[in-house]
Amino acid sequence: MKLRVMASACRYRVLAVGATVSCLYFFILELIVSRHLDLMNGETQPSKYLDETKKSAPTPVTMATRNGNGRMLGRRLSHQRVMVLCSNMSFQRPPGPVTALASFPGSGNTWIRYLLQQATGVYTGSIYTDYALLRHGFPAENVVNGSVLLVKTHEWGIHIRQNFSRAVLIVRDPVPAILAEFNRQGGGHIGHASIDKYRNKEGKLWKAFVSGKSRSWLET
């Protein structure tokens, strides 16, 4: 009887994960199609809207020209360190609904932002101001309005929800998510925490980090 219950629970989990992935797929597909329709109808006015939002878009460059060593996301996307940014990036015109891209830290929020920007040509925003991302492919950091496709957030609660009309929720297994967040804090967006950081104070800091983040993951 116990095995049946466990098997049934596993099936429900698989179905839930499948439904979540399917919804995200269709949402992304809808965004891409809408973007292409806007471009065909001439509804986007990138240069004018950049002036209105007082944001200056960087000249498209290859990743290798940044700091001379190809830093940023190019290293992880493939073995080739040179990758060209989308050359037609713009803000949404007219603005759309303010949409949150919500997740627990380490769940792949920045990666989803990057892929959506490249697929649609529309900037994504953030409630934060990450200067490393601002300099490397995310010029709309700290933009929280309908001019961007999605707005990154790791926050939750009724007060945060009031700032958005809708949301895309990214859910990742807590084990790799917590590990990814520790690496980000210890090594940056494209680095890894050194083994010494895991061993610091006989591993007590790492254990405390896992314990605290596990509770936070459950609360979200």
Q: What is the mean pLDDT of the chain?
A: 71
Does residue 117 sit in the same domain as residue 181? no
Dump pLDDT digits (tens) for 29-58. Answer: 565 545 554 544 444 444 444 444 444 444
Same domain as 134, residue 199: no
Average pLDDT over residues 154-178: 89
Question: What pLDDT is recorded for position 158?
Answer: 84
Report the Cα 92 to chain-centroid distance in Å.
18
Q: Is the pLDDT of residue 81 over 60?
A: no
Amino acid type, 5: V
pLDDT score for 211 = 82
Beta bridge partners of 168: 101
11 and 87, same domain (yes or no): yes
- Residue-level pLDDT at 167: 94
> Strands 125-126, 151-153: parallel, antiparallel or unpaired by DSSP?
parallel
**Does the structure show a pLDDT above 90 at 146?**
yes
Question: Which of residues 179 and 32 earns the better pLDDT score?
Answer: 179
Length of the chain: 220
d(C-alpha 217, C-alpha 171), whole Å:
10
Is residue 101 in a domain? yes
The DSSP code sequence of 142-202 is T--STTSS-EEE---SHHHHTT-SEEEEE---HHHHHHHHHHHHHH-TT----HHHHHGGG
Model confidence pLDDT, tens digit, residues 55-70: 444 443 333 333 333 3
Q: What is the number of structural domains in the chain?
A: 2
112/128 same-domain check: yes
Same domain, 163 and 195: no
Domain span at 197: 174-219
Please report the pLDDT score of residue 70 as a whole number: 34
Mean pLDDT, rounded, for 22-31 = 56
Q: Does residue 94 share a domain with residue 10?
A: yes
| Residue that is last in its domain, among 172, 187, 205 | 172
Do both 212 and 131 map to the same domain? Answer: no
